[in-house]
Chain A
Amino acid sequence: MSFLSNIAAYVPSRIVGNAELEQMLGTEAERIKQTSGIEERRFAAQDETVVEMAVAAGRKSLSAGEGPAVEMLIVASGSANRRFPGPAASIARALNLGSIPAIDLPMPSAGAVFGIALASGLTPSYRQILVIAAEKMSQVVSEQGTHPNVAVLFGDGAGACIVSRDRGVARIVDVLISSDGTFAEALQLGFTGPMTMDGRTVIMQASRKIPETMLLLLARNQVPLDSVSAFVLHQANQNLINQVAHALGMPLERFVSNIERYGNTSSASVLIALAEWECAVGFKPHTDVVMAAFGAGLHWGSILLRGTEPSD
């Protein structure tokens, strides 16, 4: 059994509205809002790195509560700034975590869900695992380029949480992670050249796989869909969140959304959304919440969380 706690987020201070992007990329501000639900996003400063954003989120997470020391770090990022080493070891060093294993998941979008899923399986050996997802997508877009309609979607930020063997605000009841390389080329970023996305294929795949993973997860835990109090999805596009709500026949109000303010922060988005939701609403004892994400790979997955009693 494992638990989730110390959910935290960091976003850079610079707000970039659609009007500013219209000037930069030529995509009409209103069209950005219409096709994605995004009104603004955060861009990191030029010299602010994935490591620094991850450390900011990690510090918040570590300072959010007392507990035994972290014994492992897992970092998801699809926008780290070098081939190797990945950012995990530098983040562990900056957080003074000693020589604990620090593992990189070079996985955008679904990275945080995969990180939490892996951590939850490792808690028998590592009592507390810090999971961080951090992305500087603005750098990817500005340095390697992509289609303007894709470029406008992204923002920067980081999220963090602790997966613990002993306690937390929610129990990780079950996880379901999947991958399929059939459409690996549909969304990719090479070492050089632009990020490319076959948006139609990605949307079709996501619209089917996200509801499916959640339904499978709930069914194998005998949890009725209607009893889920909140769905926290990767904030890829508001229209996709709407599609998933429609496919599940669930009211949109149960779907946490902050994409209007932060855009798509790739792997970080689901943790940023969860952190905000926890501040605003929070886990209630025995109440179920589902996290889900989908992205390049294709990788996708879902996590069933159940609020714990304060004494748990």
Chain B
Amino acid sequence: VELQDKVVKIIETIARSPGPFTSDESLFDSGVLDSFALPELVAALEQAFSIRIPDSDLNADTFESVSKISSYIQRQS
């Protein structure tokens, strides 16, 4: 939950529209993020969690929702 909260906070700083959004909801279908927010999101996640997201993981599915992002970060950390 702590990790999810941190992810939500990061998304809120980048969000195109304020939400609210649930953890399983698509951040794109709901209009919270658009495609061009993604590079910004990736950079913010890398910085916040001190990780390097490899090119092979830069695909739409990984960053679809808060829960997917959190699971991914958990696997990386």
Where the two chains meet, the residues of A that have a C-beta atom closer than 8 Å to any C-beta of B are: 35, 180, 182-183, 186, 198-201, 203-205, 207-209, 239-240, 243, 247
Q: Does B56 interact with chain A (Cβ within 8 Å)?
A: yes
Q: Does B55 interact with chain A (Cβ within 8 Å)?
A: yes
- 20 example contacts (A-B, Cβ-Cβ < 8 A) are as follows A35-B34, A182-B56, A183-B59, A199-B35, A200-B35, A201-B58, A203-B35, A203-B36, A203-B39, A204-B38, A204-B42, A204-B58, A204-B63, A205-B55, A207-B38, A207-B39, A208-B39, A208-B42, A209-B55, A243-B39
Near A by CB (< 8 A), chain B positions 20-77 give: 28, 34-36, 38-39, 42, 55-56, 58-60, 63
Q: How far is the CA of A205 from the CA of B62 in the complex (A)?
A: 13
- Tell me how far the C-beta of A200 lies from the nearest C-beta in chain B, rounded to whole angstroms: 4
Query: Which residue of A180, A186, A201, A247 has the most chain B CB atoms within 10 A of its CB atom?
Result: A201
Report whether A200 and B28 are in contact in the complex, using a CB–CB cutoff of 8 Å: yes
Residue of B nearest to A244 (CB): B39
Residue of B nearest to A200 (CB): B60
Contact of A247 among B35, B39, B56 (CB under 8 A): B39
- Give the residues in chain A near B59, CB-CB below 8 Å: 183, 186, 198, 200-201, 204
Q: How far is the CA of A117 from the CA of B38 in the complex (A)?
A: 30
Q: How far is the CA of A240 from the CA of B63 in the complex (A)?
A: 18
- Give the residues in chain B near A180, CB-CB below 8 Å: 55
- Give the residues in chain B near A209, CB-CB below 8 Å: 55
Q: How far is the CA of A209 from the CA of B63 in the complex (A)?
A: 18
Where the two chains meet, the residues of B that have a C-beta atom closer than 8 Å to any C-beta of A are: 28, 34-36, 38-39, 42, 55-56, 58-60, 63
- Give the residues in chain A near B38, CB-CB below 8 Å: 200, 203-204, 207
Contact of A201 among B34, B36, B60 (CB under 8 A): B60
Report whether B36 and A208 are in contact in the complex, using a CB–CB cutoff of 8 Å: no
- Give the residues in chain A near B39, CB-CB below 8 Å: 203-204, 207-208, 243, 247
Q: How far is the CA of A201 from the CA of B60 in the complex (A)?
A: 5
- Give the residues in chain B near A198, CB-CB below 8 Å: 59-60
Residue of A nearest to B55 (CB): A208
Q: How far is the CA of A208 from the CA of B59 in the complex (A)?
A: 12
Query: Which residue of B38, B58, B59, B63 has the most chain A CB atoms within 10 A of its CB atom?
Result: B58
- Tell me how far the C-beta of A58 lies from the nearest C-beta in chain B, rounded to whole angstroms: 35
- Tell me how far the C-beta of B34 lies from the nearest C-beta in chain A, rounded to whole angstroms: 8
- Tell me how far the C-beta of B25 lies from the nearest C-beta in chain A, rounded to whole angstroms: 16
- Give the residues in chain B near A208, CB-CB below 8 Å: 39, 42, 55, 58
10 closest A-B pairs by beta carbon, nearest first, are A207-B39, A200-B60, A204-B58, A239-B36, A201-B59, A203-B35, A201-B60, A200-B35, A199-B35, A204-B38
- Tell me how far the C-beta of A259 lies from the nearest C-beta in chain B, rounded to whole angstroms: 14
Residue of A nearest to B56 (CB): A182
- Tell me how far the C-beta of B28 lies from the nearest C-beta in chain A, rounded to whole angstroms: 7
- Tell me how far the C-beta of B65 lies from the nearest C-beta in chain A, rounded to whole angstroms: 13
Known: A243-B36, A243-B39. A200 touches B55 (CB 8 A): no
- Give the residues in chain B near A201, CB-CB below 8 Å: 58-60
Residue of B nearest to A182 (CB): B56
- Give the residues in chain B near A247, CB-CB below 8 Å: 39
Given A203-B38, A208-B39, A239-B36, 11 extra CB contacts under 8 A: A35-B34, A198-B60, A199-B35, A200-B38, A200-B59, A200-B63, A201-B58, A203-B39, A204-B42, A208-B42, A240-B36
- Tell me how far the C-beta of A292 lies from the nearest C-beta in chain B, rounded to whole angstroms: 16
- Give the residues in chain B near A203, CB-CB below 8 Å: 35-36, 38-39
Residue of B nearest to A180 (CB): B55
